[in-house]
Structure 1
Amino acid sequence: MLRKCLSVGLGVACVSTAHAQSSVTLYGLVDLGITYLNSAQTGRSGGELNGKSQIAMSDGHATGLSGSRWGLRGTEDLGGGLQALFVLENGFMANTGSLAQGGAEFGRQAYVGLSSSRVATVTLGRQYDPLVDTVQQFAASGNWGGYMSSHVGDVDNLSNTNRINNSIKVALTPLAGLRAEALYSLGGVAGNATQNQIWSLGASYSGGAFSVGAGYLNARNPNVSFYGNTPNKGLATANNIGSFGSATTPQVLPAYAGFASANTLQIIGVGASYTIGAAAISAVATNTRFQGMGSASGPNPLGYTGNATFNSAELGVRYFITPGLLAGAAFDYTQRSSVKGDGGAKYMQVDLGMDYLLSKRTDAYVLTVLQRATGRDSLGQEAVANISGFTASATDNQVGVRIGLRHKF
């Protein structure tokens, strides 16, 4: 069977001449940069945290605009407005060549499904949840700010740190600017249909200059189902919630690492934006709750019970100085409720970014994040700053800077 391949947009399309209604596209991007951190923990001495400045190279997965990836996307026309489709998307670390997403071969996405142009698209596999699909677009981290502009530790998952395994997703065909989605992930536990289950809903509307979106996610036994669903994680006895990075160099997330025994994770998010010429103003609010601590698998060394709630708010603006030069700024505020009488914690953050288009496929950018923490963290210690993607600071302040280059293919 003869196949022809040609460059199309950001990918390469290969079409079978015997079945012209079928196609497969190869696509991807590489995002690599140099980062500076003013304070990274290096250990303790005399009970005090030690910290030093750090200069390193890192992939976009850690701190950049986009995680490096390659993928295959295919469709087949079945007739009557019905299509079969699939996506296999691999994430990798361009600075080392290693797999991202905890060592999963297709850790970003892996699904197959059917799509009707008149009704809905139904897909099965490892996928993005509706909360991410509908709210991420309004956050700095989903646009010009990169992963490092996430709310502390990406506690509300708006940077899509965690995908959903074993999921069935239904996305209604858009109607007059309105989109709606639902997802259910089977827990797969014999005798207990709700253990390890995840479900999520989302809806968005875009009309002219105004856009708005809202989403909800509920994960049972999140230490395993949500935070432990990659090859390098998953043990119920391990703390999958409060760590990231490779198996040899794990990084602790002190803001919520202590809440691994939660029975349920609940995230509610809403976002909106309004475009005025070359500028756009956006706002995001999220509520993240670790519920029923002490009643599910996961370590609980501090004996937490009850709930821990994180409320986050973000206000941002982005402006196209020229058609090829974008600047953005945002302010984030996250407050965690008191748990076991610790008084809670607060995280304030300023995000700054500039992105210059060298061509349609290549851009260079600079990102800067400044964060300050107060109160007590989930590990029972004085709260320290922890910009997403970086090692936690030794103090209550932290400054991160990244200069990056991104190429799409």
Structure 2
Amino acid sequence: MKQKTQNMLLALAVTGVVAVPMHASAQSSVTLYGAIDEGLQYTSNVKGKSNVETTSGQDSGDRWGLKGTEDLGGGLKALFQIENGFNLNTGALGNGGRVFGRQAYVGVQSDRIGTVTLGRQYDPLVDLLGPLTANGNWAGSLLSHVYDNDNTDNSIRVSNSVKFVSNKYAGFTFEGMYAFSNAAGGFADNRLYGLAGQYANGPVTIAGAYLQVNGNATTNAGGAVSSADTDFSATRNQIFGGGINYALTSAATVGFIYTHTNLTNVTGSEYFGNLANAANSLRFNNFEVNARYQFTPVFYAGLMYTYTLAHYDSNAGQARPHWGNVGGMIDYNLTKRTDVYMQVAYQRASHTDGVAAPLGQAVLVGTDTPSSGLNQTAVLVSFRHLF
């Protein structure tokens, strides 16, 4: 009898040990994912010379990451995501050498309200307005607006942030973010806040966004935005805009986007270097039209044109540089996870007064090196695999 009782207890114990991980796995999940995007790129004018080079992550930044959820009960879930960016050609870490520089956050999701996350994250403008642009949706960096001045190509990565993402209500979604300076006695020194909303119903998607950064990494490297996370050295960066996409048919979509960027006390940029005369104010107005057509389930083509008008004001004088950007892309899927694509981009800058030099140069985002003149052309052929 004693032996039988011991056997029964042993069987129950084994059953319990096996049941616990089975129950846990049914309530939680962790996913490994990533993207590898490698190509050959020709650029017509790189400081006066043409260049052919291998290039990594032009349309989909090379990355790998982990994301997961766990059911907490009562309509709540815990979630996390950590994402590493790297350069496939060199193996170097991206995003200023951070191990998880693209994203790193944890949070809670409610079935009834929305999601709150904390950590290093994408801002609301990138999430909701960016996808209406060509570069933020079906294209990549080469088809971005000048200097990515409005962050639709996600140049700004936000640390120390708290973000709320609402559930969708009758087609409407909104997001809000606040990122702390983390500086004792310097609450506003390198902080960020933003708000965005999007409405999607049938063939129409409409979005609007506002984003502001106060201070910069020069005075507080541990704040919301570091020198590796932004394109400009300025004491304030204010961005707002709106756009609309309309599906003409199940295969054809057209879009229009307007954004405005207002920079205060600008000393330079990673794209055009240091300004000879610091700008008290540098403003950009971007007007983009784009179109995309899905010829077959595995093949699409897209076109875009952006006109950018800048207003430069300094103690040395004023200037009104402007740029015209035109670009296109074709993409063919070999499988559900692997595709090949080609992009062509051309930019023409205006002549501008010397007080605003070197703003008069052409510089396509994705080449990272300015032309020696008013024109720059880039052609990219790339192979991409998602996992």
| Cα distance, 1:339 vs structure 2 | 1.6
Q: Does 1:115 align with 2:109?
A: yes
CA distance in 1, matches of 2:254, 2:225: 39
Q: Does 1:380 align with 2:357?
A: yes
CA distance in 1, matches of 2:66, 2:263: 36
Tell me which residue corresponds to 1:59: 56
The 5-angstrom pairing of residues 298-337 of structure 1 reads: 302-304=276-278, 306-337=280-311
The 5-angstrom pairing of residues 1-400 of structure 1 reads: 16-19=21-24, 20-41=26-47, 51-60=48-57, 64-224=58-218, 233=227, 260=233, 262-277=234-249, 278-293=251-266, 302-304=276-278, 306-340=280-314, 341-376=317-352, 380-381=357-358, 383-390=360-367, 391-400=369-378
Query: May I ask how many residue pairs the two structures share in their alignment?
Result: 359
C-alpha spacing 1:365/1:194, structure 2 compared with 1 (3 Å): same
- Structure 2 letter corresponding to 1:383: G
| Cα distance, 1:65 vs structure 2 | 1.4
| Cα distance, 1:24 vs structure 2 | 0.5
CA-based RMSD of the aligned residues comes to: 2.5
C-alpha spacing 1:229/1:147, structure 2 compared with 1 (3 Å): farther
**Corresponding residue SS for 1:339:** strand
Contact 2:39 2:54 in 1 (8 A): yes
Tell me which residue corresponds to 1:252: none
**Corresponding residue SS for 1:31:** strand
- Structure 2 letter corresponding to 1:399: T
Contact 2:217 2:227 in 1 (8 A): no
Contact 1:288 1:309 in 2 (8 A): yes
- Structure 1 letter corresponding to 2:237: L
Q: Does 1:404 align with 2:382?
A: yes
Q: Which of 1 and 2 has greater Rg?
A: 2
Tell me which residue corresponds to 1:247: none
- Structure 2 letter corresponding to 1:400: A
CA distance in 2, matches of 1:315, 1:157: 17
**Corresponding residue SS for 1:304:** strand
Deviations 1:209-236 (A, max 9, x none): 00011111010113559999799947xx
- Structure 2 letter corresponding to 1:198: L
CA distance in 2, matches of 1:207, 1:227: 42
CA distance in 2, matches of 1:300, 1:369: 25
CA distance in 1, matches of 2:41, 2:174: 38
CA distance in 2, matches of 1:118, 1:302: 54
| Cα distance, 1:18 vs structure 2 | 3.7
C-alpha spacing 1:378/1:117, structure 2 compared with 1 (3 Å): farther
Deviations 1:42-86 (A, max 9, x none): xxxxxxxxx1110000111xxx21001111001010000000000
CA distance in 2, matches of 1:86, 1:131: 21
| Cα distance, 1:176 vs structure 2 | 1.5
**Corresponding residue SS for 1:134:** helix
Contact 1:315 1:332 in 2 (8 A): yes
CA distance in 2, matches of 1:203, 1:378: 38
**Runs of 4+ with deviation above 6 angstroms:** 225-232
Q: Which 10-residue stretch deviates more, 155-164 or 341-350?
A: 341-350
C-alpha spacing 1:225/1:146, structure 2 compared with 1 (3 Å): farther
Q: What is the aligned-residue identity percentage?
A: 40
Tell me which residue corresponds to 2:17: none
Tell me which residue corresponds to 1:250: none
Bigger helix share: 2
Contact 1:102 1:231 in 2 (8 A): no
Contact 1:111 1:126 in 2 (8 A): yes
| TM-score (normalised: structure 1) | 0.82
CA distance in 2, matches of 1:132, 1:86: 19
Contact 2:236 2:265 in 1 (8 A): yes
**Corresponding residue SS for 1:132:** helix
Contact 1:343 1:375 in 2 (8 A): no
CA distance in 1, matches of 2:341, 2:220: 31
Deviations 1:1-34 (A, max 9, x none): 9xxxxxxxxxxxxx95241201111111101100
- Structure 2 letter corresponding to 1:17: M
Q: Which 10-residue stretch deviates more, 187-196 or 218-227?
A: 218-227
C-alpha spacing 1:192/1:389, structure 2 compared with 1 (3 Å): same
**Corresponding residue SS for 1:131:** helix
| TM-score (normalised: structure 2) | 0.87
